[in-house]
Amino acid sequence: MFTSEKGVVEEWLSEFKTLPETSLPNYATNLKDKRSLVSSLYKVIQEPQSELLEPVCHQLFEFYRSGEEQLLRFTLQFLPELIWCYLAVSASRNVHSSGCIEALLLGVYNLEIVDKQGHSKVLSFTIPSLSKPSVYHEPSSIGSMALTESALSQHGLSKVVYSGPHPQREMLTAQNRFEVLTFLLLCYNAALTYMPSVSLQSLCQICSRICVCGYPRQHVRKYKGVSSRVPVSSGFMVQMLTGIYFAFYNGEWDLAQKALDDIIYRAQLELYPEPLLVANAIKASLPHGAMKSSKEGTRCIQVEITPTSSRISRNAVTSMSIRGHRWKRHDNTAMNSFNICLLLNRINCKHETDWINMKLFSQKKFCRGEMI
């Protein structure tokens, strides 16, 4: 770490200690624009033996519990890197060098599982019903399934998934480690839209490292440092995929593609069905060769809109169209017969006057529906 970068971090540490509470909102707003500070903090976190790591972790925790939304998000952007550093140290069995990082992760977890009154949070999520339209589908295009879902939704049978209450944790162990880390990634994913590009890059990189370290693919990726296998859980990998899917369409296509391939590789080795299902669904939904550059900024997710009812009814077969087709066919046949009769009469007539009188007489009979 360079002396200039160390000076930036030390100035940041001393500045916040002398900051009055009235200046906190302005300080929080301007903090996200200090890119040199963010870069220097990443380097401190990546060096477990750095003397600045403990005060940095302490200040990041102070930011998180300050109640200021901007300061909370500032701490959240370092969460993927903090998780990787903790797992890397744990895999090397040098737990004592990650004490301050573990304390920060536990502090954020214990703050997130309770509300402002100190009561345990219970998170709920309603599974979308196919009977209600969305940008992805129209209920009418599904057929009889839409009617069944509609009947169920009208009776209040929508399925709701609950998460929590989560217990307080005083330390991370092998038994509760991924329960805590999975919940922390869930909190990070809830704020994905506020995360800068450097945080999304860090997320993709740590997902790749976690999945391939200790396996033959590590040599293909040319990752150095940790050579031990890092344990992962199925739920933790699903949360990683949530962030990676967001990164695909928000400027980090190449890194997200690499991370997705590495997660599929690890899920196949571990025989985890949930991350395999989600990862393959993401891979199948990606456009083929449409977004090769990773520096084009925010992208939108392209979906194929189901045709509306007006477009469908234009070519639909109805009883009215069948009757119209029948009358049209009958009229064509009748007109052909009428024209043939006129031609025969023209041949039989000797004078032009007789032919004109015969034509007028035949038209009157045809209009009355009489035989010619």
243: phi then psi, degrees, rounded to nearest 5: -70, -35
Residues across the chain: 372
CB 42 within 8 A of CB 80: no
pLDDT category, 323, cuts 50, 70, 90? Answer: low
Could you tell me the sign of the dihedral formed by the alpha carbons of 216, 217, 223, 227, in that order? negative
pLDDT for residue 351 is more than 70: no
Q: Where are the domains of the chain?
A: 122-141+151-164, 174-307, 341-372
- Note the pLDDT of residue 312: 45
Radius of gyration of the chain (CA): 35
Rounded to an integer, the average pLDDT of 323-338 is 52
The DSSP symbol for 161 reads E
- Note the pLDDT of residue 200: 95
Rounded to an integer, the average pLDDT of 323-350 is 52
Nearest to 42, CA basis, from 13, 77, 16, 67: 77
Rounded to an integer, the average pLDDT of 23-48 is 88
- Note the pLDDT of residue 358: 55
Lowest-pLDDT range of 167-176, 206-215, 236-245, 343-352: 343-352
pLDDT for residue 268 is more than 90: yes
- Note the pLDDT of residue 238: 95
CB-CB neighbours of 139 under 10 Å: 18
Strands (DSSP E) contained in the chain are: 123-126, 160-163
- Note the pLDDT of residue 294: 44
161: phi then psi, degrees, rounded to nearest 5: -105, 135
Report the C-alpha gap between 28 and 158 in whole angstroms.
41
Alpha carbon of 48 to those of 40, 198, 236: distances in Å?
Answer: 14, 20, 23
**pLDDT digits over 47-88, tens only?**
888 889 999 999 999 999 888 899 999 999 999 999 999 998
Higher-pLDDT residue of 8, 33: 8
pLDDT category, 146, cuts 50, 70, 90? Answer: very low
**pLDDT digits over 77-135, tens only?**
999 999 999 998 888 776 556 789 999 999 999 999 888 888 888 888 777 776 677 76
- Note the pLDDT of residue 180: 94
pLDDT category, 293, cuts 50, 70, 90? Answer: very low
Rounded to an integer, the average pLDDT of 175-203 is 93
Mean pLDDT, the chain, whole residue set: 78
Report the C-alpha gap between 250 and 300 in whole angstroms.
8
CB-CB neighbours of 187 under 10 Å: 17
pLDDT for residue 244 is more than 60: yes
Q: Which residues contact 263 (CB under 8 A, 6 or more apart)?
A: 207, 211, 237, 240, 241, 244, 275, 279
Nearest to 268, CA basis, from 232, 298, 296, 293: 232
CA 157 to chain centre: 26
CB burial of residue 210 (10 Å; 0-12, 13-18, 19+): buried
DSSP string, 278-290: HHHHHHHHS-SSS
